[in-house]
A and B are shown apart, each in its own frame.
Chain A
Amino acid sequence: MPATSALRPPVDRDVPLVGRQPLEGPYVLLTFRHPEVARRARAGQFVMIKAATVTEAILRRPFSIMSVDPREDTFTLFLKAVGPGSRALATLRPGEAAGCLGPLGRPFTAPPEGHEALCVAGGYGIAPFVLFADELRRARRRARVFYGGRTRAELQLRAPFATLDPPLVCATDDGSFGHHGVVTGAVAAYLDTRPGPVTLYACGPDAMLHAVARLAEERRLPAQVSLDPWMGCGLGTCLGCVVRIRRENETRAKYRCACTEGPVFDAREVVWA
C-alpha cells in the first residue's frame, strides 16, 4: 500500500512573497502568504517551494517551516542560498510568486509529560525549532535549544530565541562563538549534569543526526530526528528521498519516503548509512 499520510492533504498554490529579511552571508528570511500552511503547520513539517522565476532547475525544494502567523495567513522560511533553486528563492522580491505545496510531512511529537525537550540543531537545521520552541512554550513544556555550526557566521538564526528560558546554547567547531566543539558535545555535557527526564530532538547534517542517535542510544533516551535527504516531489511519488527505516516490529529495514513517512523519525528506527 502506498504510504498515505494520516494528516490532511497538503495544498498546492502559487504564493506571493510578502516579506524578505536578509541576514549575513547567504542567509535570508522569506515570508509567504499561504493560509493553509499558516493555519495547519506543526513544527517539523515542511513545504516544497520553487520560485516562478527559475526554469533551469525544475524541481521544488523542501524547506522546514520556521514560523507561522495565522492572523496574517503567512509562514516564514529560513533559507541558505546554495544552489540555483534556493538562490532564485532568495532573490525573489515582494509580490513575486513561488509555487508551493504544504504543509507536508510528519511533525515532531511533543515529549512525554514531565520531560524536558532537548533540541539539537546544526546549521540551517535550526529552522523548525523556532516553531517547536513556540509550541512547547504554549504547551508549558520545558525546552532547551542547542545550536551548532562550523563558525559564528553559520549561527544566523539566534534572534528568535532571544527570550528563550533557559537561554540558547551555541557551539562552534572553531570556537568563534559559544562552546568550542561540536554541538553534541554541549548536549552530552548537559546530560552529564544529570537533569531530569529528557527527550532529544535533532535537525541538521546527517553526521550530527547520527551522533545524536548514538548519544540517545548510549544514554537510553528517546530521540526524534528530522532527516533531510534529496527530495523530488514531497508527495511520495518520485521515491527519490527514501531512507532505510526499520520499525520496532519488523525484521528487516525498508526504504520509506522521508517526505510522507518522515521527515521526523524515531532515531532507533533509522538505519544509518
Chain B
Amino acid sequence: MKLGVQIGALRLKNPLLAASGTFGYGVEYEGILDLSLLGGIVSKGLYLEPRDGCAVPRIVETPSGLLNAIGLQGIGIRAFVKDVLPRLALYDTAVIVNVCGDTVEEYAEVARIADAPGVAGLEVNISCPNVKKGGMAFGGDPRMTHEVVSAVRKATRLPVISKLSPNVADVTVFARVCEEAGADALSCINTLLGLAIDVDRRVPRLAFGTGGLSGPAIRPIAVRMAWQAARAVRIPVIGVGGITGAEDALEFLVAGCRAVQVGTANFVDPGIYARILEGLESYLRRHRLESIGDVVGSLRFPEGEAPVEPPA
C-alpha cells in the first residue's frame, strides 16, 4: 500500500484522519461521503458524562479562519461506545477516541471505557482552549501534561496520541514531556487562542469570550510547530491545521509528519478526502516515489542549516 502509514502500533491505510471536533462522531457524514476513504476518524471530545457546551454565539468567521468556542458539547463516552461504535464498524477506517476530562482520574476512566472493540487508538485532549478545567489548562503545564498522559497510558493498551496546544512558548518541551510519559504519537496542533470583538457593542463576538482559531489562517503556524515537534521527538507526529487540499497535506508530510488531520475543511467540503488522496497519488507518480513514507521529513534547507533553529 503506497499510502499506508504506521503510527506506533496503529496501522493506517492512508495518512488522512478527520480531526476531532470537526467530524462529529463520523456517522453524521454517512451517505454524504464514503467513510472507508479515510485513514481514520478522531471523534469529538468525550467526557464520562454528556455535556452541554458553551452558550451561543459559538462560532464566528475571521479572515480565512474560524474562531470557535463550542466547549466540548458531547454525548459522553458510554453513549459513544454503545450507540456509535457499532455503526462505525461498518467502515474500513481506524476509529480514534478523543479523550477529555476535568480531572486526571476522569481522563483515565474515559480511556478505560474507550478501550472497546472497534477503537483503534486514543487521542488525549490536553489542548482545548474553550473549557475552564482540563484541556489547555493541563496542556499548558508540563507537569500536568505528564500526569494526564501517564494516567491514560496506564489505563489502556491502545496507541495513545497526545494532542498538543500551540498556546505555549515552546512546543518542543511539551512534545518531549508527552514522549517521556509514554505517548505513542503527537497531534500538532489544536486551535490558537483568539479573540474577536464586536466594536459597536464592545463585547466579544463569542459568548465564551475567547475562542480557538482554525482554518487556513493558521496553517503556516501549524506546519512550523509540527516541524519543530517532529525534530524534537522520536515518536510520530500527526500534522493538523488549515488543510484544504493535497498540497497543504504534503506540507505537513514534508515537514516531518507521518500523517495529517483535516479539520475545518470538513465543514465546507465533504469531498476533500477523495481529492487529497488523488492528489497524493499523483504527487508520488510525479516525483517517482514508492510510498508516502518517502515524503515524510524530506524538507531540505538549501543553505544546509535550518534558518531558524527551534528553541532548545
By a beta-carbon cutoff of 8 Å, the part of chain A in contact with chain B is 1-2, 4, 8-12, 50, 55-60, 99, 101, 229-230, 232-233, 235-240, 242-243, 254-255, 260
8 contacts between A and B (CB under 8 A): A2-B75, A4-B30, A9-B31, A58-B66, A59-B66, A99-B269, A237-B22, A237-B29
Report A63 CB to chain B, min CB distance, Å.
15
Contact across chains for B70 and A240 when beta carbons are under 8 A apart: yes
Within 8 A of A (CB), among B263-284: 264, 266-271
The answer to the question of B200 belonging to the interface, with a C-beta cut-off of 8 Å to chain A, is no
Are B79 and A1 in contact, CB atoms less than 8 angstroms apart? yes
Interface residue B64 (Cβ < 8 Å from any Cβ of A): yes
Which residues on the A side are within 8 Å of B231 (C-beta)?
A: none
Once the chains are docked, how many angstroms separate the CA of A144 from the CA of B248? 53
Cα separation A10 to B29 with both chains bound (whole Å): 10
Closest to A240 in B: B59
8 Å CB contact of A12 from B32, B58, B61, B215: B32
Q: Give chain B residues whose Cβ lies under 8 Å from the Cβ of A235.
A: 24, 28-29, 32, 267, 270
CB–CB B64/A237 < 8 A: no
B32 and A10 form a contact (CB under 8 A):
yes
Least CB separation from A11: chain B residue: B32
Interface string of B45-85 (1 = CB under 8 A from A): 00000001100111111011110101001010001000110
Q: Is the CB of B70 within 8 A of A58?
A: no
Does B24 contact A232, Cβ atoms closer than 8 Å?
no
Q: CB distance A1 to B75 under 8 Å?
A: yes
Selected contact of A242 from candidates B29, B64, B73, B264, CB within 8 Å: B73
Instruction: Collect the chain A residues with CB atoms within 8 Å of residue B79's CB.
Output: 1
Contact A99 to B31, CB < 8 A, known contacts A2-B24, A57-B61, A58-B215: no
B129 at the binding interface (Cβ < 8 Å): no
In the assembled complex, the Cα of A10 lies from the Cα of B56 at a distance in Å of 26
B8-52 toward A: CB 8 Å interface, digit per residue (1/0)?
000000000000001111011111110000000000100000001
Cα-based distance from A47 to B274 in the complex (angstroms): 22
Query: Is A59 a contact partner of B30 (Cβ separation < 8 A)?
Result: no
CB distance from B227 to the nearest CB of A (A): 24
Instruction: Kindly list chain A residues whose C-beta atoms are within 8 Å of the C-beta of B212.
Output: none
How distant is the Cα of A255 from the Cα of B72 in the complex, in angstroms? 12
Among B31, B33, B56, B60, find the residue whose CB has the most chain A CB atoms closer than 10 A.
B56
How many angstroms between the C-alpha atoms of A249 and B61 in the bound complex?
A: 36
Known: A233-B266, A236-B24, A238-B22. Contact between A9 and B64, CB under 8 A? no
Report B-chain residues with C-beta under 8 Å of the C-beta of A236.
24, 28
Q: Which chain A residues lie closer than 8 Å to B25 at the CB level?
A: 2
CA distance A255 to B58 in the complex (A): 12
List A contacts of B28 (CB < 8 A). 2, 4, 235-237, 260
B241 lies within 8 A of chain A by Cβ: no
Taking each of A2, A10, A240, which has the highest tally of chain B beta carbons within 10 Å of its own beta carbon? A2
| A242-B68 in contact (CB<8A) | no
Q: A127 CA to B63 CA in the complex, in Å?
A: 29
Bound: A148/B30 CA distance, A: 40
